[in-house]
Amino acid sequence: MNKYELALVVSAKVEDDVRNATVEKAKEYIARFGGTVTEVEDWGKKKLAYEVQKMKEGFYYFIQFDADSNAPAQIEQEVRIMDNVIRFLCVRKDEA
């Protein structure tokens, strides 16, 4: 099992419950593809470096999880088509 981090930027235009449901759905995708969520960091609303889909702000979430090496590609495939996610990135964390 490798350690990964999924960074999500969720639209600031949606309500709190919709935003929380979006993060929960991402966690469900991780579980579906054999991953185990170890931590979820909520960084709150931040200004984006550049405008994305006419939005200047977004809510940042960082989800740490353990999974096999084929899971991140499958998770990214599902997260890519989620409505309220404006940006995402899944990276492997070093064993340092």
Residue 94: predicted pLDDT: 80
Number of compact structural domains in the chain = 1
DSSP one-letter code for 95: -
CA R_g for the chain: 13
The CATH number linked to 80 is 3.30.70.60
Tokens of residue 37, six digits: 């969520």
Model confidence pTM above 0.85: yes
Residue 55: predicted pLDDT: 93
Measured distance CA(19)–CA(70) in Å, rounded:
27
For residue 84, what are the domain limits?
2-92
Measured distance CA(72)–CA(30) in Å, rounded:
8
Which burial class, exposed, middle or buried, applies to 71 when counting CB atoms under 10 A from its CB (0-12, 13-18, 19+)?
buried
Contact between 15 and 84 (Cβ < 8 Å): no
Three-state DSSP at 75 gives helix
Q: Give the pLDDT confidence of 38-88 residue by residue, as tens digits.
A: 999 999 999 999 999 899 999 999 999 999 999 999 999 999 999 999 999
